[in-house]
Structure 1
Amino acid sequence: MNNILFMVNMRCYHLGEDVRDGVKRKHKGLDIVCNDGSTIYAPFDVKLNGKAVPYKKNNAINDGVTMKGEGLCFKLFYVKPDKYSGSLKKGQKIGTLLPMQKVYPGITSHVHVQMCDESNPTKYF
């Protein structure tokens, strides 16, 4: 297991088309590669603003959190947060990457970062 500070060990996937299971979807964020079970830390002081889920249907990775900080609002998907409300200081644990391999065997496991307004988050990384 590796421990990452939110913005380390990053591989970016651009916004645009995502094809999975033969279904086209719009990719609305940035993916940060890390291993299942990795600890995810706050990149700066943040306020946690509730649960955020990527799917309408429940599965083992359908969890995440909405966060605000540094004038930004963003969502982290595929993370089991330690809590959904309150505040965290830079470097404090947000949560743990969920087991993506159980749902999508062979996928590159990652945290998905999506701006609340669905704008492109790339410039912040």
Structure 2
Amino acid sequence: MKQVVVFLGVKFGQLCDGNPGNERRTNDRYGSGHFGAPRGSGTHTGLDIKCNDEQAVFAPFDVYIDGRSVPHHGVPNLGAINDGILMRGEGLCFKLFYITPVKTSGFVRKGQKLGTMVTMQTFYPGITSHVHVQMCWKMADPTPYF
């Protein structure tokens, strides 16, 4: 039986400049941004929060950055779109993908800039540009924290 731990009361603050309510990516030509959405033979293991290309991405609460994290291991020629960071705070461990980080270690206060949203349209024309939020344990759903 799968056990799920939810840290009650923990909510992500604003992630992207221009999206104060953390509006989610819905359906577009590439699929849907909700946790568990179909992805080929697998499922989407995160939650996509709308973010315009080249917008600032902020710390959702006080966090410690624990290094870079890449969403597409072993896929060549993805450049900047294959970037993200691993962090922890408020009892959570999570990753943000599709951002170019300002730094890759250390402490960042809520609302401070973590990085810049990559230009997704170069790689996925017509997609709803977004930051992908994924818990460190891939099968944990980040939705309750939004």
| Whole-angstrom CA distance in 2 between matches of 1:24 and 1:38 | 32
Corresponding residue for residue 52 of structure 2: 35
Corresponding residue for residue 105 of structure 2: 85
Where in structure 2 are the equivalents of 1:1-125 lying within 5 Å?
3-4=17-18, 8-11=21-24, 13-19=33-39, 23-56=40-73, 57-58=75-76, 59=78, 60-118=80-138, 119-125=140-146
Bigger share in strand: 1
| Whole-angstrom CA distance in 2 between matches of 1:16 and 1:29 | 8
Task: Kindly provide the amino acid, as one letter, of the partner of residue 116 in structure 2.
Answer: T
Q: CA deviation at 1:108?
A: 0.5
Size of the alignment, in residue pairs?
120
Deviation readout 1:42-79 (Å, 9 max, x if unpaired): 11100000111011214130000001000000000001
Report the identity percentage.
54
Indicate the structure (1 or 2) with the bigger Cα radius of gyration. 2
Q: CA deviation at 1:18?
A: 3.2
- Root-mean-square deviation (CA, aligned residues, Å) is 1.7
**TM-score, normalised on structure 2?**
0.76
